[in-house]
Structure 1
């Protein structure tokens, strides 16, 4: 098994990211978009959704950049955001709109003539 490598960014880049400067955000994105995609892919298993999660992750990270502590490794912080974003996307995709559920129920619901009075399960 290959050793995991992490991207070390210069403290000045992390400070720039924390201040929300374009150059810092760009450097963090270029360094971590691949690993963030891997996190999203592991949760979602779908390329298009993982790409969406990467975009959302970096938007959220950019918005929260002022709260990032540049003395800490940025990777775990980004990966936590990516995992949470991915789970949110996964949950939102699992839900069917109510109208769609009602249509499905109407198609698969048994008619009253097929209902028996026998219990489905008895102890």
Structure 2
């Protein structure tokens, strides 16, 4: 997981510049990180953007304690899994990573109020071939 270290350190530094205690955390891959209007779109909920590019579900679980435990949010939104699939992991394996995030250990995602929403609109490039 060392390849994420620079981005994780960036997130730790950004945390110190927040002027409020975030109530809503967005955590996951570059789909979160690159969301330029996230702070404006969710301003009433005092969000924090904790996305790091290229992250997988395994990486999200790995850095959960380091990045999320300094906060006391009301809710967390996680977007991850695309990169796992892009790395060639089988969908069932990705689901297992998702389940591991819910196991009772210190970084368990499920100690926070959560809902599960799965949505994918991106199509595989081969689907557009004629």
TM-score (norm 1): 0.26
Higher strand fraction: Structure 1 or Structure 2? 2
